[in-house]
Amino acid sequence: MASEFKTCDDIFECQLCGNCCNGFGGTYVTQQDIINISTYINFDLEKFIARYCDKSGTRNVLTLGKDGYCVFFDTISQCTIHPVKPYMCKAWPFIQTIIKHPENWNAMANSCLGMKKNIPHKDLQKIVALEKEKLDKSVI
Ligand code: SF4
Ligand code: SF4
Q: Which atom of ligand 1 is nearest to the CA of 82?
A: 2
pLDDT score of 24: 63
∠ CA 116-122-125, nearest 5°, is 75
Distance of alpha carbon 74 from alpha carbon 86, whole angstroms: 16
Cross-strand partners of 61: 28, 54
Q: How confident is the model at residue 8 (pLDDT cuts 50, 70, 90)?
A: very high
78 within ligand 2 shell (Cβ under 6 A):
no
Q: What is the pLDDT of residue 46?
A: 86
pLDDT surpasses 80 at 20 = yes
**What is the whole-number distance in angstroms between the Cα of residue 115 and the centre of ligand 2?**
8
**What is the number of other CB atoms lying within 10 angstroms of the CB of residue 73?**
21
Residues 44 and 130: their CA atoms lie apart, in Å, by: 35
Ligand 1 pocket, Cβ-based, cut-off 6 angstroms: 21, 27, 62, 70, 72-73, 79, 81, 85-86, 89
Report whether pLDDT(10) > 90: yes
109-127 per-position pLDDT tens digit: 999 999 999 999 999 999 9
**Domains of the chain: which residue ranges?**
24-82, 92-140
pLDDT of residue 1: 66
**What's this model's pTM, rounded to 2 decimal places?**
0.92
Which of 113, 116, 117, 131 to probe ligand 2 with, by most ligand atoms within 8 A of CB?
113
The bound ligand whose nearest atom lies closest to the alpha carbon of 110 is 2
